[in-house]
Amino acid sequence: MAAEDPAALVHFYGALLELEPQAGLNVNHWRLPWPVGSWLEIYLPSRSRSQLRQQGRLALCLQSKADGSAALILLNLWIAKALGLGASLQEPPRQEPFGAEAWLLDPEGNRLLLLVLP
């Protein structure tokens, strides 16, 4: 994930997911451990190659699980945590047949879906 401030963005996602950020290949590269031995890589893009910000259909989806009717309660707690870390709410939380979801923007304006499955 390209970022203007990789250190700040990795700390946002680290706090939101309760994961410890790790230094990457250089001072402009950070990473978070991801399930199945992979990583979420956050880096400063090359200044010699421009990367335009785009509001497309691509978004990071973070998932959690809750028992029964607690999905919306857990989602609201997760939203409050994200907002406290600098995110902004794009769409209010809602209960869907597959779980509770809310759309946010991370501190750099990237789309983020928080999804709590029953």
Same domain (yes/no): 33, 65: no
- The verdict on residue 53 lying in a domain is no
Q: Which of 35, 30, 2 is nearest to 106 (CA)?
A: 2
Total domains in the fold of the chain: 2
Q: How far apart are CA 44 and CA 2, in angstroms?
A: 6
Look up the pTM and report it: 0.83
Same domain (yes/no): 24, 64: no
pLDDT, residue 54, reads: 63
Along the chain (118 residues), what's the average pLDDT of each consecutive run of 10 residues?
93 95 93 87 76 69 89 95 97 92 95 94
Same domain (yes/no): 105, 64: yes
Tokens of 34: 């991801």
Instruction: Give residue 83's domain range.
Output: 60-117
Q: How far apart are CA 27 and CA 93, in angstroms?
A: 36
pLDDT, residue 55, reads: 64
